[in-house]
Chain A
Amino acid sequence: MRGEFRINGAIKECEFAPEAVLAQVLRDNGHTEVKIGCNRGECGACVILLDGELVNSCQVLAATATGREITTVKGVGNLHEPHPIQTALAETGAVQCGFCTPGMVLAAFYLLSRNPDPTEKEIANALDGNLCRCTGYVKIIEGIKLAAERMRANG
């Protein structure tokens, strides 16, 4: 089947199977920044924002997402204009292999849009659905805290 997706502000028409999950359809259409670590809703590598809500895109049927607003990590910030969350994670050494990072960035983005001044515990709890095997999370939490400070300072 075919459907229109609104990905990071652009409209894209994609062809996909009726049972295809959104994560795979996004990846098949160039959005390889959406990672797949388990395909079962258990790791958070495939996290996106769907109409502003944080979801594991491997658990969403692509057919239910047509016409809706999809934000991947590239919609948060890109190489040329990185978001403060991305620069703070880089600076604090929170990016090791980077496979979990797109999901972490989106989880942090979602958190900070609701709670601009989270405690460390609140950050940790907000990352509960995102597995990382490399960093031990310590620097990810530190990076998100730093990003929050900077975002508050810059209004």
Chain B
Amino acid sequence: MDEFKTIGKSVEKIDSISLATGEEKYVDDFPLDNPLHLALLYSPHAHAGIVRIDTTEAESMEGVVSILHHGNTPDKLHTTAGQGFPEPSPYDSRIFDKKMRFVGDRVALVAAETIEIAREAAKKIEVEYKLLEPLFDSERAMDADAPRLHGDDAFAPIPVKYDPAHNLAAEVEMSFGDLEAGFREADLIFDNTFYTPYASHCAIEPHAAFARFDERGRLVIYTATQVPFHARRIVGRTLDIPIGQIRVVKPRIGGGFGGKQEVFLEQLVALVTWRTKRPSKIILSREEVFANARTRHPMRTRLKAGAKSDGEITTIELDCLMNTGAYGSHALTVLSNAGAKVLPLLNKVKNVHFIGRSVYTNLPIGGAYRGYGATQSYSAYNQTIDMVARAAGVDLLEFFKKWTIKKGETSEVFRVLGEGKEGVAQIIHSCKLDECIDRGAEAIDWYAKRGRRIEVAPNIVKGVGVACSMQGSGIPKVDMGAASMKMNEDGSFNLYIGATDIGTGSDTIMAQIAAEVLGITPDRFIVLSSDTDLTPFDVGAYASSTTYISGQAVRKCAMKVAEQIKEVAAEMLDLPIEGLFLDNGRVIDDVSRKAVTLDDVCYYAFYTSNQRQIAAGASHFATESPPPFIAQFAEVNVDIRTGRVELIKFVSAVDCGQPLNPRLAEGQVEGAVVNGLSYALWEEYIYDKNGRMTNPSFWDYKIYTAADLPEMATIIVGSYEETGPFGAKSIGEIAINGPIPAIGNAIFDATGVRVFEAPYTSERVWRRLKEEGVTD
């Protein structure tokens, strides 16, 4: 491993002081010249057709400028999923539709002089609905007599199974080995069904977008997005505006977590501004973010496993039923990842079958969410492993170490299961999961607590649990990121990247990568990211791709710039280029130790002879997706009488390759963990009988605050991934996979009772304790 100067240092995030002093601007912070304010009218019915819509009264209100609905907007089917093209999500959405498919589906949009007028006018729109039988139960979605959500016109733009007649938004199947033989070989059979609920991303900045025309009549959209380039394409295609006429800018973003990998407000501001020639903006309320934006797809996961008496798992059959809600955003790819990111972990299992179905229901729309299907399915996987090890009487940690994938090994799953197509075969080049397990176990004091049922107070029993998981680093042979760079006279550089910093610190990481190549400090880079007019393309911030894919583009770009710098220096020093290297802001000749500074190089290149701009561009896509690995441990005290689970400690030990910036890496883990903890214990959508979400506020949908934290430990176990930039793999998503199963396993360790449905609220745990006769 190389000795690094900047890589591996906890460089301060380049925007942190400007953020902490309130200087930075988010979408809603830009002044606009007399904008129109937009308010949406939503369907009060879960399933209905619009028979008549009358906007006369609303339109007559003073200050109302325009009202859009299905009768006066483009009818183009598309997906709002911000993915590559053609998207692997079905084209089942219109900007406005005649049919309402969940409480909160869009009926109309009012553009008015003030937001108050817009909201008032929205209430005055008269709509006559023809009510249709709603479908809320995903188990029933494919029944012959189930209400049908989407028509025959909806279609999948890539060749995959899509059957709207049976509410099937996506289906994925994969198998290898001989399932039946595997079960015959088994002495122990486990067949259990687990449930994970709907959840909201809860980025503290609500979704926001505005549009205006620039001086030359091009449309400029500022949006809180993870996918500026996809947003530009989707807006252009749905509204028939040439892509060259659109500029999408991503300013600071107040968190995304997948929720902003969705293009559903940009069309509205674009259309209003295009038609009215006035700036327009829309900011969702918190209630709208909960009920009308995107969510984590709930999943029912049935896992059937066969194991020999010594614990060797012979067969795994994974059956996932995913509820994609009213529209199929990410319906196929989240589902695929429920298998693809999970099943390779125990790569020695010879007989594997995975069947997944995403079905439509008249409930809120699913979408991308940190963990992306893996989180849902790891809940079942890790709890089943706990059961197997217990039944076989083997040490759980030793079980993981024995059966999980290792460096130099592969899994058939990689090759077979991709996203809507075959996967990409790959060998694991780096894996320190064993060390993660050991160090995590030590931090939680595993063997002193495991299986001991320590009664810390009357009726309060301690338990510990563990969960291991892997994720990926970008989508192989799909994701692409690009960078460009130019040099200035003082040896500073402009770095332009498509990569989308949504708070993760990727602007800083990219500067560190470039700095390492050029032998200077990261503060020499002026980073500008995600402006479709100025920066090169990038797929955006998703699939844990930024560090691994965009980072490699930056590294390549910086290497080209380094070559050009050396060429100029060679000319200046009149020495052969081969002996030159860059260090500490200088170009040095290895032999003579003669040197020139970077300032000298740029001045020379600009003004002296053979004048040129030192500048380069590069892009990168990857042919593999090296997984990071994590071991996560929970310690809980369970109150046997009430079912209350008190989380005492949570430990995460993670192998993310070479951490480029350890503090920012830890921050990714801690943020994902804490999101996962409240998902495991509290977070869920609650509906009334008509399918209306009844808890769309932070008051009723509780997320963790600082005061709720258990003792937290994050351990970065460094490894080196040879295919990544300076050895790095991803870190953004993986840590959200552990909380549900680790806590579920800890509850079992304390009580001997398995709770199959998350979140583990007191009521749910108490009910299970009662069912199993542990409490009365």
B-chain residues with CB within 8 Å of residue A97 when the two chains form the complex: 19, 203-205, 252-255, 502-503
B-chain residues with CB within 8 Å of residue A140 when the two chains form the complex: 706
Q: Are A93 and B25 in contact (CB under 8 A)?
A: no
A33 CA to B252 CA, complexed, in Å: 13
A80 CA to B540 CA, complexed, in Å: 32
Q: Is B773 an interface residue when CB atoms closer than 8 A count as contact? A: no
Q: Kindly name the residue among A98, A130, A138 whose own CB sees the greatest number of chain B CB atoms within 10 A.
A: A98
Nearest-Cβ distance from residue B523 to partner chain A, whole angstroms: 13
Q: Are B503 and A134 in contact (CB under 8 A)?
A: yes
Q: Is B21 an interface residue when CB atoms closer than 8 A count as contact? A: yes
C-beta contact mask, B696-717 vs A, less than 8 Å → 1, else 0?
Answer: 0111000111110100101000
Q: Are B707 and A125 in contact (CB under 8 A)?
A: yes
Q: Are A89 and B671 in contact (CB under 8 A)?
A: no
Q: Are A91 and B12 in contact (CB under 8 A)?
A: yes
**Interfacial residues of chain A within 46-103, with CB under 8 A of chain B in the complex:** 72-74, 77-79, 82, 85-87, 89-102
A-chain residues with CB within 8 Å of residue B22 when the two chains form the complex: 32-34, 72-74, 101-102
C-beta contact mask, B1-36 vs A, less than 8 Å → 1, else 0?
Answer: 000000000101101111111111110110000000
Q: Are A32 and B25 in contact (CB under 8 A)?
A: yes
Q: Are B663 and A139 in contact (CB under 8 A)?
A: yes
B-chain residues with CB within 8 Å of residue A77 when the two chains form the complex: 21
A-chain residues with CB within 8 Å of residue B699 when the two chains form the complex: 40, 42
A137 CA to B710 CA, complexed, in Å: 11
A129 CA to B204 CA, complexed, in Å: 13
- Take A37-B205, A42-B698 as given contacts and tell me if A130 and B20 are in contact as well, using a CB distance cutoff of 8 Å: no
B-chain residues with CB within 8 Å of residue A89 when the two chains form the complex: 16, 20
Q: Is B479 an interface residue when CB atoms closer than 8 A count as contact? A: no
Nearest-Cβ distance from residue A48 to partner chain B, whole angstroms: 11
Q: Are B21 and A73 in contact (CB under 8 A)?
A: yes
Q: Are B670 and A98 in contact (CB under 8 A)?
A: no
A99 CA to B255 CA, complexed, in Å: 8
A132 CA to B670 CA, complexed, in Å: 11
Q: Is B305 an interface residue when CB atoms closer than 8 A count as contact? A: no
Nearest-Cβ distance from residue B158 to partner chain A, whole angstroms: 33
A125 CA to B28 CA, complexed, in Å: 30
Nearest-Cβ distance from residue A102 to partner chain B, whole angstroms: 5
Nearest-Cβ distance from residue A21 to partner chain B, whole angstroms: 12
Nearest-Cβ distance from residue A42 to partner chain B, whole angstroms: 4
> Which of B19, B253, B698, B707 makes the CB contact (< 8 A) with A38?
B698
Q: Is B97 an interface residue when CB atoms closer than 8 A count as contact? A: no
Q: Are B670 and A138 in contact (CB under 8 A)?
A: yes
C-beta contact mask, A97-134 vs B, less than 8 Å → 1, else 0?
Answer: 11111100100000000000000000111011111111
Q: Are A127 and B706 in contact (CB under 8 A)?
A: yes
Closest to A89 in B: B20
B-chain residues with CB within 8 Å of residue A78 when the two chains form the complex: 21, 23
Q: Are A130 and B21 in contact (CB under 8 A)?
A: no
Q: Is A7 an interface residue when CB atoms closer than 8 A count as contact? A: no
Q: How large is the interface on A (under 10, 10 to 19, 20 to 34, 35 or more residues)?
A: 35 or more
Q: Is B182 an interface residue when CB atoms closer than 8 A count as contact? A: no
Q: Are B20 and A135 in contact (CB under 8 A)?
A: no
Q: Are A93 and B675 in contact (CB under 8 A)?
A: no
Q: Are A133 and B204 in contact (CB under 8 A)?
A: yes
Q: Are B706 and A96 in contact (CB under 8 A)?
A: no
Q: Are A96 and B505 in contact (CB under 8 A)?
A: yes
A128 CA to B707 CA, complexed, in Å: 6
Q: Are A100 and B663 in contact (CB under 8 A)?
A: no
Q: Is A145 an interface residue when CB atoms closer than 8 A count as contact? A: no
Nearest-Cβ distance from residue A112 to partner chain B, whole angstroms: 15
A125 CA to B708 CA, complexed, in Å: 9
Q: Is A151 an interface residue when CB atoms closer than 8 A count as contact? A: no
> Which of B21, B201, B664, B703 makes the CB contact (< 8 A) with A79?
B21
Q: Are B674 and A137 in contact (CB under 8 A)?
A: yes
Q: Is B285 an interface residue when CB atoms closer than 8 A count as contact? A: yes
Nearest-Cβ distance from residue A137 to partner chain B, whole angstroms: 4
Q: Kindly name the residue among A45, A101, A105, A127 whose own CB sees the greatest number of chain B CB atoms within 10 A.
A: A101
Q: Are B28 and A32 in contact (CB under 8 A)?
A: yes
A78 CA to B17 CA, complexed, in Å: 9
Q: Are B712 and A136 in contact (CB under 8 A)?
A: yes
Closest to B26 in A: A99
A39 CA to B25 CA, complexed, in Å: 19
Q: Are A137 and B706 in contact (CB under 8 A)?
A: yes
A97 CA to B260 CA, complexed, in Å: 13
> Which of A34, A95, A123, A135 makes the CB contact (< 8 A) with B670?
A135
A-chain residues with CB within 8 Å of residue B265 when the two chains form the complex: none
A129 CA to B431 CA, complexed, in Å: 40
Nearest-Cβ distance from residue B194 to partner chain A, whole angstroms: 25
Q: Is B100 an interface residue when CB atoms closer than 8 A count as contact? A: no
Q: Are A136 and B697 in contact (CB under 8 A)?
A: no
Nearest-Cβ distance from residue B35 to partner chain A, whole angstroms: 12
A75 CA to B706 CA, complexed, in Å: 24
> Which of A33, A79, A102 makes the CB contact (< 8 A) with B17?
A79
Q: Are A98 and B697 in contact (CB under 8 A)?
A: no
Closest to A140 in B: B706
B-chain residues with CB within 8 Å of residue A93 when the two chains form the complex: 10, 12-13, 16, 505, 663-664, 666-667
**Interfacial residues of chain B within 284-301, with CB under 8 A of chain A in the complex:** 285-286
B-chain residues with CB within 8 Å of residue A139 when the two chains form the complex: 663, 666-667, 670
- Take A37-B204, A42-B699, A93-B663 as given contacts and tell me if A131 and B705 are in contact as well, using a CB distance cutoff of 8 Å: yes
Q: Is A43 an interface residue when CB atoms closer than 8 A count as contact? A: yes
Q: Are B671 and A127 in contact (CB under 8 A)?
A: no
B-chain residues with CB within 8 Å of residue A27 when the two chains form the complex: 28-29
Q: Is B135 an interface residue when CB atoms closer than 8 A count as contact? A: no
Nearest-Cβ distance from residue B695 to partner chain A, whole angstroms: 12
Q: Is B225 an interface residue when CB atoms closer than 8 A count as contact? A: no
A109 CA to B285 CA, complexed, in Å: 28
Q: Is A148 an interface residue when CB atoms closer than 8 A count as contact? A: no
**Interfacial residues of chain A within 1-60, with CB under 8 A of chain B in the complex:** 27, 32-40, 42-43, 45
Q: Is B257 an interface residue when CB atoms closer than 8 A count as contact? A: yes
> Which of B10, B16, B705 makes the CB contact (< 8 A) with A128?
B705
Q: Are A40 and B666 in contact (CB under 8 A)?
A: no
Q: Are A133 and B202 in contact (CB under 8 A)?
A: yes
- Take A137-B705, A141-B706 as given contacts and tell me if A82 and B21 are in contact as well, using a CB distance cutoff of 8 Å: yes
B-chain residues with CB within 8 Å of residue A95 when the two chains form the complex: 13, 15-16, 19-20
Nearest-Cβ distance from residue B116 to partner chain A, whole angstroms: 8
Q: Are B703 and A38 in contact (CB under 8 A)?
A: no
Q: Are A136 and B671 in contact (CB under 8 A)?
A: yes
A-chain residues with CB within 8 Å of residue B12 when the two chains form the complex: 90-91, 93
A15 CA to B16 CA, complexed, in Å: 33
Nearest-Cβ distance from residue B426 to partner chain A, whole angstroms: 30
A-chain residues with CB within 8 Å of residue B476 when the two chains form the complex: none
A136 CA to B201 CA, complexed, in Å: 14
Closest to B23 in A: A79
C-beta contact mask, B233-265 vs A, less than 8 Å → 1, else 0?
Answer: 000000000000000000011110100000000
Q: Is B550 an interface residue when CB atoms closer than 8 A count as contact? A: no
B-chain residues with CB within 8 Å of residue A131 when the two chains form the complex: 202, 204, 698, 703, 705
Q: Are B254 and A99 in contact (CB under 8 A)?
A: yes
A-chain residues with CB within 8 Å of residue B706 when the two chains form the complex: 123-125, 127-128, 130, 132, 137, 140-141
C-beta contact mask, B665-681 vs A, less than 8 Å → 1, else 0?
Answer: 01101111111000000
A128 CA to B285 CA, complexed, in Å: 22
A154 CA to B19 CA, complexed, in Å: 24
A-chain residues with CB within 8 Å of residue B25 when the two chains form the complex: 32
B-chain residues with CB within 8 Å of residue A87 when the two chains form the complex: 17, 20
- 4 new A-B pairs (CB below 8 Å) besides A38-B286, A82-B21? A40-B286, A43-B204, A96-B503, A99-B203
5 A-B pairs closest in CB distance: A33-B22, A97-B503, A98-B19, A99-B254, A136-B670
Residues of chain A having any CB pair with chain B under 8 Å? 27, 32-40, 42-43, 45, 72-74, 77-79, 82, 85-87, 89-102, 105, 123-125, 127-141
Q: Sample 8 A-B pairs with CB under 8 A, ordered by A number.
A: A33-B23, A37-B206, A43-B204, A93-B10, A97-B19, A98-B252, A133-B204, A137-B704
